Amino acid sequence: MKRISRREAMKIAALAGGTLLLPVGLQYRGYAQRANGTVEPFTVPFRTPPVLNPTRSDSTTDYYQITMRKARVEILPGQTTEIWGYNGIFPGPVIRQRRNRVSTLRFINNLDVNTSLHLHGMTSSPQYDGYAEDFIPPGYYKDYVYSNNTSAAANLWYHDHALAQSSQNVYRGLAGMYIVQDDEELALPLPKGNYDIPVIIQDRQFAPDGSLIFDNRNQTSVMGDVITVNGVPWPRMQVANRKYRFRVLNASISRSYRLALSTGDQLTVIGTDSGLMSAPVNTPDIRLAMGERYDLIIDFSRYAIGTRVELQNLFLPNNAFFDNIDRIMCFDVVRSETDDSVVPNTLRNLEFIPEAAAVRTRDFVVQQRNDGVWVINGNGWDRNRVDANPQLEEVEIWTLRNTANVSFHPMHLHLIDAQILDRNGQPPFPYERGWKDVFYVGENETVRVIGRFRSYSGKFMYHCHNMVHEDRDMMSQFQVGRGGIDPMSAPARPLPAPPL
Ligand code: C2O
Ligand code: CU
Ligand code: CU
């Protein structure tokens, strides 16, 4: 069965002389469409970001170096756009690391703004967690060390986290994927190699001259009218009639998506933010907020050669609509291949933390204050204030409450992986039943999550992953245990850097 997209629905309404008066592709809630018309969806070839090689490796550690710099790149066909990129590309290079190998990542700041580097999904020691005030100033560098030994294989991502600046820095390009793999995961007969594909979704808005427009709509959200995947607008991917694994990340600043296939066929979810699920879950669609990752299998053997399958974005409320925003990318089934990959019925043994294990419950109300500032329990960011102090290895339930119906808040906890107990008293979506670090708190939703605070003492941030909200000011911190390493204790150093 073919779905009717919102765009088609609007066209039908217009033809029927309906009262739906949205001029398609022009204005919606004051958002202007700019470069959208200059690129036809599904005409630009799909690609994946390059994989970054270590500069050197020894018996325990791989050493990587990334320079943050301005560059002009082609995003819209035939035009160039100035970005602020990790190694000058959009998005940054993919890092693939093995569990239990140490990564030392050197970040050099050749931009003219402060940056801070956060590896989202990693259990990091406080001084390497990308604390929002632990800046790498222009002309400085910092070496970040990650053990990769706490969580399972998972899709992480690295992105900027500079206080009040992260939405701008990430919008201009500072984001990339970081994949941790381990023996257990690699032993599964899942699609591998050329059939294991990063899919980084980001919306952007461009001026007629190709430059990026950053408009945060009076500190509410940055909405683009061009959907990019791995830096390509609405790409077209040629696939064989076999299974593929897609590591999907929503790296957008403010836009969430509802993913579905144009054929109406189900998506097979095998992993959440923090690694594989216990068993694959089939679902007709997935709600994907900023910062969330889902690992998907799509089996193209269902389709005849010559079939086009679109990855669509079904309508979500409070999400600025432009023409073609309901499309993400397409797959053209162009060749026949044998497929020895299998999606096992059991992917891994997942521990579900029982509610009874929690020693306390904390309440967090996420809202917009009367002065317009986005806050948690009425407060914005204050480096000298701590809002929760779980002890090491304690289990807590955090109730995340959004009492408004005008905005949604993907809430992210640093340091730990957690699980959703319920949303508005109902079980989470079946595809959310794994370890996660971002929790979609939709309009009028109350989400309860349970997690164990472990591996490092110290101060860690939690915040909304709409980076416009995060920047002003929906971010706070918790302190695990007593003491711990000061997040500001390993400051960036001036260039030139010694050899890595
Ligand atoms: Cu992905 Cu604190 O962020
Ligand atoms: Cu994070
Ligand atoms: Cu928010």
Closest ligand 1 atom to 157 CA: 1
Spatial separation of the C-alpha atoms in residues 62 and 145, rounded to whole Å: 10
Q: State residue 38's pLDDT score.
A: 80
- Judged against a pLDDT cut of 90, whether residue 11 lies above it is answered with no
Same structural domain for residues 380 and 316? no
The more confidently predicted of residues 4 and 104 is: 104
**Is the sign of the CA dihedral 439, 427, 272, 229 positive or negative?**
negative
Pick from 407, 225, 216, 438: nearest CA to 316: 407
Q: How far apart are CA 138 and CA 108, in angstroms?
A: 9
CB 414 less than 6 A from any atom of ligand 1? yes
Decide if pLDDT at 112 tops 50: yes
Looking at the structure, do residues 443 and 409 belong to the same domain, yes or no? Answer: yes
Q: Which atom of ligand 1 is nearest to the CA of 463?
A: 2
The residue nearest atom 3 of ligand 1, judged by CA position, is 120
Rounded CA separation 431/413 (Å): 19
For the Cβ of 120 lying below 6 angstroms from any atom of ligand 1, the answer is yes
Ligand 1 site, residue 469, Cβ cutoff 6 A: no
- 35 domain-assigned: no
For range 260-284, the mean pLDDT: 98
306 and 435 belong to one structural domain: no
pLDDT value of position 54: 98
Ligand lying nearest the CA atom of residue 122: 2
Asked, for residue 500, whether it belongs to a domain, the answer is no
Residue 32 has pLDDT above 90, yes or no: no
With the C-alpha atoms ordered 416, 417, 418, 420, is the resulting torsion angle positive or negative? positive
Task: Examine the pLDDT at 221 and tell me if it is beyond 60.
Answer: yes
Task: State the average pLDDT over residues 34-42.
Answer: 80
Q: Does residue 375 share a domain with residue 305?
A: no
Which residue range forms the structural domain that includes residue 458?
Answer: 355-480
Tokens of 97: 């690391």
| Percent of the chain at pLDDT exceeding 90 | 88
Which of 312, 281, 66, 90 has its CA nearest to residue 200?
90
Residue indicated by tokens 């933010």: 273
pTM: 0.94
Task: Identify whether 385 is part of a domain.
Answer: yes
Question: Which DSSP state fits 265?
Answer: P
Domain assignment of residue 168, yes or no:
no
Whether residue 372 has pLDDT greater than 60: yes
Q: How many CB atoms lie within 10 A of CB 110?
A: 15
Same domain, 202 and 320: yes
Same domain assignment for residues 379 and 436: yes
Q: In sequence order, what are the beta bridge partners of 498?
A: none
404: CATH: 2.60.40.420
Residue 236: inside a domain, yes or no? Answer: yes
How confident is the model over 340-359, as pLDDT tens digits? Answer: 999 999 999 999 999 999 99
Residue 301 included in any domain: yes
Report whether 72 contacts 81 (CB < 8 A).
yes
Q: Is 194 helix (H, G, I), strand (E, B) or coil?
A: helix
63 CA to middle of ligand 2, Å?
21
Does residue 10 form part of some domain? no
| Kind plus residue range of the DSSP H or E element containing 107 | strand 102-109
Q: What is the DSSP letter of 167?
A: H
Residue appearing with tokens 């970081």: 178
Lookup result for tokens 């400051």: 491
- 468 and 423 share a domain? yes
Rounded average pLDDT over 391-395: 98
Task: Domain count for the chain, please give it.
Answer: 2
Q: Tell the burial category of 25 from Cβ atoms under 10 Å away from its Cβ (0-12, 13-18, 19+).
A: middle
Same domain, 388 and 460: yes
Q: Do 373 and 327 share a structural domain?
A: no
Nearest to 336 by CA among 302, 297, 303, 305: 305
Q: Which residue owns the Cα nearest ligand 1 atom 1? A: 120
406 and 440 in a single domain? The answer is yes
Where b means 16+ CB within 10 Å and e means fewer, 68-84 reads bbeeeeebbeebebebb
pLDDT tens for residues 143-198? 999 999 878 899 999 999 999 999 999 999 999 999 999 999 999 999 999 999 99
Cα 264 from chain centroid (whole Å): 25
| Cβ 293 under 6 angstroms from ligand 1 | no
Q: Are residue 288 and residue 376 in the same domain, yes or no?
A: no
H/E element holding 6? helix 6-15
Ligand 1 touching residue 463 (CB < 6 A) = yes
Ligand 1 contact, 461 CB (< 6 A): yes
Sign of the C-alpha dihedral, residues 379, 382, 384, 389? positive
- Give the distance (Å) from ligand 2 centre to CA of residue 204: 22
pLDDT digits (tens, 9 = 90+) for 255-264: 999 999 999 9
What is the rounded CA–CA span in Å between residue 323 and residue 325?
6
Query: What pLDDT shows up at residue 314?
Result: 94
Residue 360 lies in a domain: yes
Q: Is the CB of 472 under 6 A from ligand 1?
A: no
Dist CA 48 CA 134 (whole Å): 31
- How do residues 56-91 score in pLDDT, each as one tens digit? 999 999 999 999 999 999 999 999 999 999 999 999
Q: Give the pLDDT confidence of 478-495 residue by residue, as tens digits.
A: 999 999 999 999 999 999
Per-residue confidence (pLDDT) for residue 36, from 0 to 100: 64
Mean pLDDT of 20-47: 67
If asked whether residues 213 and 328 sit together in one domain, one would say yes
Tokens of 427: 């079980």
